[in-house]
């Protein structure tokens, strides 16, 4: 929802296009699916032919001589048809073989090197990061480590929020069939993913367009419905994190799954505002009291639940009274993670026609007040965690800062970190480890490993 002006400068519609030629065994197919998932999550489109592609990825097989010959032939074809080619897969394990024959190949990576493939794609055709439309944070586009993956479950949106042009750009909600989503998730987990980040424009509406039509997965019928999907994903043994959940009543139904440990106790619900007047102008549902009651009920059932939200300040017609109401809501709601954007008009959004634009200095001043209050709340909430034991996932080993991890309360790139400065043993990215929290900052926590870890 941020930096809307930047978006307005860009041509709406299609993102960069990537062609993918996939050869080889089912394992290579999993790699290809993983690459496609990541590309789509970052806003790339998959081109069905060479002509329309900005770059072509050839996922090769090198097991048998015949497979090698086929792979080399496919690389040659892609080069002559398109010219910009990245090679990955088993044959990529012997880059000299490829580069001797085809020196103009742009990059060669071995099998399962998704990150390197993504980096090579970014180098040729950078993702058109669009902070208004994209579901993956800008930093997440850089390089998604192999231990977490975005799982996109639908496209488009049935809502008509007045500040948003996504329904205009992407159309109404189109959900992916539930068995397709689950198979992709299963492949991702089999390929080493330890955390699935469920994304869509409106995750809680999943399956509405399919009338929640069911399909079989692992021998059982599953409905295309957020609750069933979350429960099924919970069977995979990976962390499941739900993003972009619109506050429908049935969101309450995933809370028991969190209490049972099947889904991470984390909900990303963009509330956008708290004043009923502003919410009405935004064409968003809103009943502050109800929301506060629901938050209290969720916290009663899952005391550990982390709630993330985003808000817009300075929406047309927002008065000082409306803004005070928003601050009052923040004080009461005590959300764990919060993003706040100053309203900016987007070309084509109905909100542009609303009267009483808020002057820029007022927007700025409100944004500062909002952030100062939330920072205070965030610090207090993090302070409460000192002394507690929790499981964290290792993201990165940083030689200077220590081991950078995240807890259930932290989505990658947008939330905070848990840092282990002195690990008791060698840790690897993707590993889950128990820690005891020792120190809290404004957004991050510092922890130690207990002796027995
Ligand atoms: S819920 Fe509203 S803000 Fe979100 S994508 Fe749909 S129309 Fe846009």
pLDDT digits (tens, 9 = 90+) for 77-132: 999 999 999 999 888 888 888 999 999 999 999 877 777 888 899 999 987 766 55
Q: Separation of 1 CA from ligand 1 center, angstroms? A: 10
> Both tokens of residue 63?
């097991």
Amino acid 37: pLDDT: 77
345: pLDDT strictly greater than 90: no
Nearest atom, ligand 1, residue 283 CA:
2
The structure tokens listed for 325 are 């109401």
Which atom, in ligand 1's list, is nearest to the CA of 244?
Answer: 4
- Whole-number pLDDT of residue 62: 73
Nearest to 415 by CA among 340, 308, 293: 308
Mean pLDDT along residues 309-336 = 97
Mean pLDDT of the chain: 88
Task: Output the CA 434–ligand 1 centroid distance in Å.
Answer: 37
pLDDT value of position 137: 53
Cα(50) to ligand 1 centroid in Å equals: 34
Nearest CA to ligand 1 atom 4: 201
DSSP string, 42-53: TT-EEESSSTT-
Range scoring the smallest mean pLDDT among 38-52, 322-336, 399-413: 38-52
**Ligand 1 pocket, Cβ-based, cut-off 6 angstroms:** 157, 159-161, 164, 166-167, 201-202, 246
Task: Output the pLDDT for position 11.
Answer: 36
pLDDT of 18 strictly over 90: yes
| Pocket residue to mutate for ligand 1, from 1, 131, 160, 201, most atoms within 8 A of Cβ | 201
pLDDT band at 143 (very low <50, low <70, confident <90, very high): very low
Query: What share of the chain has pLDDT > 90, as a percent?
Result: 62
Does residue 27 surpass a pLDDT of 70? no
Task: Give the lowest-confidence range in 148-152, 210-214, 230-234, 436-440.
Answer: 148-152
CA distances from residue 279 to 3, 137, 165, 311 in whole angstroms, order as listed: 20, 25, 17, 11
What does the pLDDT read at residue 8? 29
Average pLDDT estimate for 272-287: 93
Q: Is the pLDDT of residue 253 over 70?
A: yes
> What pLDDT is recorded for position 130?
62
Is the predicted pLDDT of residue 135 greater than 80, yes or no?
Answer: no
Strand order of the β-sheet with 17-22 is 45-47, 17-22, 55-60, 85-89, 107-108
* Nearest-CA residue for atom 8 of ligand 1: 164
Mean pLDDT to the nearest integer, 196-204: 91
pLDDT at 6: 29
Q: Is the pLDDT of residue 247 over 90?
A: no
160 CA distance to ligand 1 middle (Å): 6
pTM, 2 dp: 0.75
Which CA distances in Å does 294 have to 173, 235, 288? 26, 26, 10
Q: Which of 155, 163, 202 to mutate to test the pocket of ligand 1 (most atoms within 8 A of CB)?
A: 202
Q: Is the pLDDT of residue 414 over 90?
A: no
pLDDT value at 422 more than 80: yes
* 161 Cα: distance to centroid of ligand 1 (angstroms): 5
Enter the tokens of residue 341.
């954007």
CB 349 within 8 A of CB 391: no
Q: From the CB of residue 216, how many other CB atoms can be counted at a distance below 10 Å?
A: 11
Distance 166 CA to ligand 1 centre (A): 6
Please tell me the distance between residue 202's alpha carbon and the centre of ligand 1 in angstroms: 7
Q: Which atom of ligand 1 lies closest to the CA of 272?
A: 3
pLDDT recorded at residue 9 = 30
Dist. CA 424–CA 444, nearest whole Å = 20
**∠225-181-48 over CA atoms, to 5°?**
130
Can you tell me the mean pLDDT for 15-29? 79
Residue 273 has pLDDT above 70, yes or no: yes
Q: How far apart are CA 357 and CA 346, in angstroms?
A: 13
**How many angstroms separate the alpha carbon of residue 175 from the centre of ligand 1?**
15
Mean pLDDT of all residues in 349-357: 92
| Token pair of 66 as six digits | 């015949």
Compute the C-alpha angle 108/109/111, nearest 5°.
140
CB neighbours of residue 339 within 10 Å = 18
Confidence of residue 452 (pLDDT cuts 50, 70, 90): low
Q: Which ligand 1 atom lies nearest to the CA of residue 158?
A: 6
**Whole-number pLDDT of residue 131:** 55
Taking CA atoms only, the protein residue closest to ligand 1 atom 1 is 159
User: What pLDDT was estimated at residue 53?
Assistant: 93
Residue 355: count of CB within 10 angstroms of its CB: 7
Q: Which atom of ligand 1 is nearest to the CA of 164?
A: 8
Mutate to test the pocket of ligand 1, among 4, 130, 157 (most ligand atoms within 8 A of CB): 157
Q: How far is the C-alpha of 239 from the C-alpha of 262, rounded, in Å? A: 8
**Ligand 1 atom closest to 246 (CA):** 1
């Amino acid at each position: 929802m941020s930096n809307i002006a930047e978006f307005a400068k860009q041509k709406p519609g299609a993102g960069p296009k990537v062609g993918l030629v996939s050869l080889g065994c089912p394992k290579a197919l999993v790699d290809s699916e993983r690459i496609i998932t990541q590309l789509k999550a970052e806003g790339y489109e998959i081109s069905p032919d060479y002509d329309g592609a900005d770059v072509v990825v050839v996922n090769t097989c090198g097991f048998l001589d015949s497979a090698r010959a086929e792979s080399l032939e496919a690389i040659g074809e892609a080069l002559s048809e398109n010219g910009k080619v990245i090679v990955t897969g088993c044959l990529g394990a012997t880059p000299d073989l490829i580069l001797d024959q085809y020196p103009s190949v742009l990059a060669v990576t071995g099998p399962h090197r998704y990150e390197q493939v993504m980096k090579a794609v970014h180098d040729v055709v950078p993702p058109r990061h669009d902070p208004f439309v994209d579901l993956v944070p800008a930093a997440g586009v850089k390089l998604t480590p192999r231990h977490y993956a975005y799982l996109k479950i639908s496209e488009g949106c049935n809502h008509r929020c007045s500040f948003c042009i996504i329904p205009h750009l992407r159309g109404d909600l189109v959900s992916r069939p539930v068995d397709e989503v689950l198979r992709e998730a299963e492949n991702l987990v089999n390929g080493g993913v330890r955390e699935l980040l469920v994304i869509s424009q409106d995750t809680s509406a999943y399956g509405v367009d399919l009338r929640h039509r069911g399909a079989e997965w692992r021998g059982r019928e599953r409905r295309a419905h957020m609750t069933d999907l979350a429960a099924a994903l919970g069977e995979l043994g990976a962390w499941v994190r739900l993003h972009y959940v619109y506050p429908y009543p049935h969101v309450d139904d995933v809370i028991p799954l969190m209490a049972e440990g099947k889904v991470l106790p984390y909900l990303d619900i963009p509330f956008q505002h708290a004043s009923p007047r502003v919410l009405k102008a935004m064409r968003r549902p809103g009943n502050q009291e109800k929301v506060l009651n629901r938050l209290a009920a969720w916290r009663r059932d899952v005391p550990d639940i982390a709630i993330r939200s985003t808000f817009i300040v300075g929406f047309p017609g927002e008065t000082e009274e409306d803004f005070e109401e928003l601050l009052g809501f923040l004080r009461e709601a005590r959300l764990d993670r919060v993003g706040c954007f100053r309203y900016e008009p987007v070309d084509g959004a109905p909100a542009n026609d609303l009267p009483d634009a808020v002057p820029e200095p007022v927007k700025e001043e409100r944004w500062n007040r909002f952030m100062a209050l939330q920072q205070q709340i965030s610090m207090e909430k993090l302070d409460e965690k000192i002394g507690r034991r929790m499981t964290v996932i290792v993201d990165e080993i940083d030689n200077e800062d220590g081991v950078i991890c995240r807890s259930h309360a932290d989505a990658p790139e947008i939330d905070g970190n848990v840092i282990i400065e002195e690990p008791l043993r060698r840790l690897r990215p993707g590993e889950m480890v128990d820690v005891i929290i020792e120190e809290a900052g404004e957004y991050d926590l510092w922890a130690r490993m207990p002796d027995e870890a």
